[in-house]
Structure 1
Amino acid sequence: MISRVLSPVLRRFPAPSVATQRRVTWIAALTQALIAVTGGVVRVTGSGLGCPTWPSCFAGSLVPVGGTEVPAWHQAIEFGNRLLTYVVVLAAIAAVLVVLRAGRRTELRRYAWALPLGTVVQAVLGGITVLTGLQWWTVAPHFLVSMVLVWLAVQLHVGIARPDDVDVVVAVPSPLRGLLVVATGVLALLLTAGTLVTAAGPHSGSTDVDRLTAVSIPALTQVHGDLLVAYVALLVGLLFSLRVVGAPAVLVRRTWVVVGVVLAQAVVGIVQYYTGVPEALVSLHVAGAAAVTAASAAVWAHTRQPLDASSSTTASTNRDSAAAR
């Protein structure tokens, strides 16, 4: 409905090139990851209640105010994070507009629309988080929704490069696609376990709220570590299998990137655990989680390739162009 209303207006502007579409969608993906990182900074600095009300910062004021018991630097950090939300929304709207103006396929339009809609959901979740005093059970979903939006933004960015009038195939055999589905499920569990580890630690939310105490930090950390090992093992198995079946080189390269990013993230996690969870490393770990999500999403997106770019053996058994449209 909205697309039909916008189309006559958008036709007055020149159609964006594929390069422009990729730049816009890259920015949209970057901002989705960036706001997750700044949200982590808010949490580790204890600035989550720097603006104690929502949607205004203070009662009767949309911006920070002086002369209150809330430190000015806490106000600045939390208000800066809220301002970034507007940048995220603008980037998401820009992605919708370029996809609509370029007349791209339905799949891409769905991904594009998911970004601004998801960002609105995030804003509401952020408000709930503030109004409940930064309870850990509101902070954790807030982060996980960000990872979902990063994943969708990467699907959009990668998909933009594929022509709309060329058949698309799954460029790996079905068993390998299944292996990737399992790996993605383990990644989701890994991210969830990571939020629970944080919920049980000193950076669960506000310093004035209860932590997750139902399970001990060592037990949660063990589960998180076990899931990490499982994910790396699945990635290594995927790498060997991709080489055996002669998968597209870009898919193999992207999988190597995921392995590298995951191992770097593991190092950060281990160091922060044994150094008392310092704030800077927690923020870096959040950035790493976003990087792992984005890199893994790129692997998923690259399993689908234009027909002429895929091997004939794989293509003949994995056609899915009809479903994509």
Structure 2
Amino acid sequence: MARPSFLARIPSTPPALMRRLALLAVLAQGGIAVTGSVVRVTGSGLGCPTWPNCFPGSLVPVAHPGIAALTQWIEFSNRLLTFVVVAVSGFCLLAALNTRPRRRRLTWLAVAMPLGVVAQAVIGGFTVLLGLAWWSVMPHFLASMLLVWLAVQLVDEATAGGPVVRTVPGAARGLIMLSTVVLGALLVAGTLVTAAGPHAGDASTPRLGLGVPAMAQLHADLLFAYLGLLAGLGFTLFATHAPAALKRRYWVLVAVVAAQGALGGIQYALGVPEVLVALHVLGAAAVTAAAAAVWAGTTRREPLADAVADVSVEPPALATRP
């Protein structure tokens, strides 16, 4: 008898480990967006003026008469965090590939993690080379939010189980899809507010000329539209007797959106202080993660024991009589 291969002798990835790695991916993807905002509000976006090197011929910061050492190290530290995200993403992929039986959706979500990091590195490189042009910074942030969303789906998919079943009717799923589209528009509008605001990452970077008040009004209008959809979704979930777990996710989303909206209003009233900008980016990642959890909660996997029992029990019509 042929001996099993080395890979075949490796134990399958436990669902609990896969879930922990996916949770780390959520934190890493959201965390690097927050540190990126710190780079921007401290004016350190061009602390390393070249890419992938920090300075021509040097991967690390060097003494430069025109760029402060602190500015260099803030930007360089953010670049170093990319390696942490790469490591977490790589472990997620390896764990998913080692899950047996292998699940296609789990694998593709895990593949998206390292691919997303590579895409972010390329976008970040072009952003630096373009001198932090506002339209180049926008996709850098939005890509992070997309990766947070996918990482949350990976967390949910990491749960072992049988066939996937829907937990809510089509009306609720339609509202969640529509609210997701509006949330995407809300995030884009938020980047436009930033593009028109004072925090460009470098003092010499041109800003979006439409003005902060107009962009903030657009952002607020979309927020009210999103809140209206969330109110409708709440009534739908309770009217259709949605699972308690999904209702809890919904209330978490409502609480996070309310807190983020209040923070945005305070931020605008105080003239966009630096600390609140970073907190607002953290809030955006939290809202994205909470909305992604609601999306994921519209389906669930049947317990493996139930799925096996359904297959193993003989239909009554075919049972052998005594």
**TM-score relative to the length of structure 2:** 0.90
State whether residues 21 and 92 of structure 2, in contact with CA within 8 Å, keep that contact through their aligned partners in structure 1: yes
- Taking only the aligned residue pairs, the percentage that are identical comes to 56
- CA deviations over 1:54-108 (Å, ceiling 9, x no partner): 0001111111112442111111110010000011011001000001111331001
- Of 3, 18, 21, the residue aligned with 1:24 is 21
2:221 is equivalent to residue 226 of structure 1: yes
Cα RMSD of the aligned pairs, angstroms, is 1.4
Give the match for residue 58 of structure 1: 55
**Secondary structure in structure 2 of the residue aligned to 1:305:** strand
State whether residues 22 and 161 of structure 1, in contact with CA within 8 Å, keep that contact through their aligned partners in structure 2: yes
Aligned partners of 1:146 and 1:67: how far apart in 2?
31
State whether residues 46 and 201 of structure 2, in contact with CA within 8 Å, keep that contact through their aligned partners in structure 1: no
- CA deviations over 1:161-217 (Å, ceiling 9, x no partner): 141xx121221111111111100000000000000000001013421011000x232
- Of 83, 88, 105, the residue aligned with 2:85 is 88
Unaligned runs of 5+ in 2: 305-322
- The change in CA–CA distance for 1:9 and 1:189 in structure 2 (over 3 A counts) is farther
Equivalenced residue count is 299
**Secondary structure in structure 2 of the residue aligned to 1:207:** coil
Deviation at residue 253 of structure 1 after TM alignment: 0.4
Deviation at residue 12 of structure 1 after TM alignment: 4.9
* Structure showing greater Rg: 2
State whether residues 155 and 301 of structure 1, in contact with CA within 8 Å, keep that contact through their aligned partners in structure 2: yes
- CA deviations over 1:25-51 (Å, ceiling 9, x no partner): 110111000000001110111100111
**Secondary structure in structure 1 of the residue aligned to 2:165:** strand
Aligned partners of 1:196 and 1:184: how far apart in 2?
19
More deviation in 233-242 or 190-199?
Answer: 233-242
**Secondary structure in structure 1 of the residue aligned to 2:55:** coil
Alignment of structure 1 residues 232-271 onto 2, 5 Å: 232-271=227-266
**Secondary structure in structure 2 of the residue aligned to 1:186:** helix
Deviation at residue 18 of structure 1 after TM alignment: 1.1
**TM-score relative to the length of structure 1:** 0.89
Deviation at residue 244 of structure 1 after TM alignment: 1.1
Unaligned runs of 5+ in 1: 1-7, 310-325
Aligned partners of 1:131 and 1:77: how far apart in 2?
18
Aligned partners of 2:64 and 2:254: how far apart in 1?
50
- Of 100, 106, 117, the residue aligned with 1:119 is 117
- Of 69, 77, 83, the residue aligned with 2:66 is 69
- Of 208, 211, 225, the residue aligned with 2:204 is 208
- The change in CA–CA distance for 1:10 and 1:231 in structure 2 (over 3 A counts) is farther
Give the match for residue 168 of structure 2: 172
Give the match for residue 3 of structure 1: none
State whether residues 135 and 205 of structure 1, in contact with CA within 8 Å, keep that contact through their aligned partners in structure 2: no
Aligned partners of 1:112 and 1:66: how far apart in 2?
40
Give the match for residue 302 of structure 1: 297
Deviation at residue 9 of structure 1 after TM alignment: 6.4
Aligned partners of 1:212 and 1:150: how far apart in 2?
26
